[in-house]
Amino acid sequence: MMLAGKTAIVTGGSSGIGEAIVRLFASQGANVVIASRNTLEASRVTDHLQANGHNVIAVRTDVSKEDNVREVIEETVRNFGRIDILVNNAAAIMPKYLEDFEEEEWDRIFNVNLKSVFLMIKHSIAELKKTRGTIVNMSSLNGLIGQKMNPVYAATKGGMNAMTKALALDYAPFGVRVNCICPAGVTTPLLEQWILQQDNPAQTVQDLNDMHALGRPSTSEEVAQAALFLASEMSGFVTGVALPVDGGASLGY
């Protein structure tokens, strides 16, 4: 098993990409902590995995609140004694034009998508230095190229990419690797929510298929495989990378 004896925290781990990462990491021998506000969905995931012999717990966490972040770090160390992997996956999206945003909406998207990364790394880095661990930030292709009517989400992901590269330099002397993943379309509840907010959802689905050279969005499990690569020794000499997992979506003309 690739993660035997390791302990991972996955924010937003109760659904979508986060749930797929939790399930894959657990199957590879990791102790996994789900940090999520959605206690019902987190319990669903943990109950199933625990019933199958995996070491998985859930801690109710608002990752934009510093006290909550401190608590999930402390609970992880209390239960498993160490932190080897941090996956910053929690995200929110609000597709509309910039002039239509209210200040509190801007703050909400930045707090969930970017402030959370700052807080989670700030409070886990001491433990990650001890284990020479890894950080995987879940970014987006939007952080590398633009997308219509999604400027604030794109700004948070662009900031995440830049932060990832800077932190890779800061923590390399301690053996801590920091990378991020930049998916395009992924069949998750977040994407489905975005589709329903479009003027023509059916056309949006077709457009999503057409924008990927491989003819479809990725599955959550395919993105989870990339997270496993970056979290494991398979990528032992990889740091500071913003890895597109986009089915060729960034290759269009």
pLDDT tens across the length of the chain (253 residues): 999 999 999 999 999 999 999 999 999 999 999 999 999 999 999 999 999 999 999 999 999 999 999 999 999 999 999 999 999 999 998 989 999 999 999 999 999 999 999 999 999 999 999 999 999 999 999 999 988 899 999 999 999 999 999 999 999 999 999 999 999 989 887 778 778 888 899 999 998 899 899 999 999 999 999 999 999 999 999 999 999 999 999 997 5
> Which residues, 6+ apart, have CB-to-CB distance to 117 below 8 Å?
88, 137, 160, 163
> Counting Cβ atoms within 10 Å, is residue 231 exposed (0-12), middle (13-18) or buried (19+)?
buried
Residue 77 is predicted with a pLDDT of 98
Q: What's the one-letter identity of residue 193?
A: Q
| Residue 176 pLDDT | 98
At 253 the pLDDT is 56
Q: What is the pLDDT of residue 194?
A: 74
Judge residue 232's burial from the number of C-beta atoms within 10 Å of its C-beta, 0-12 exposed, 13-18 middle, 19 or more buried.
Answer: middle
Q: Are 30 and 36 within 8 A, CB to CB?
A: no
Which residues are identified as catalytic? 153
Please tell me the distance from the alpha carbon of residue 35 to that of residue 42, in angstroms, as a whole number: 8
Distance between CA atoms of 210 and 71, rounded to whole angstroms? 44
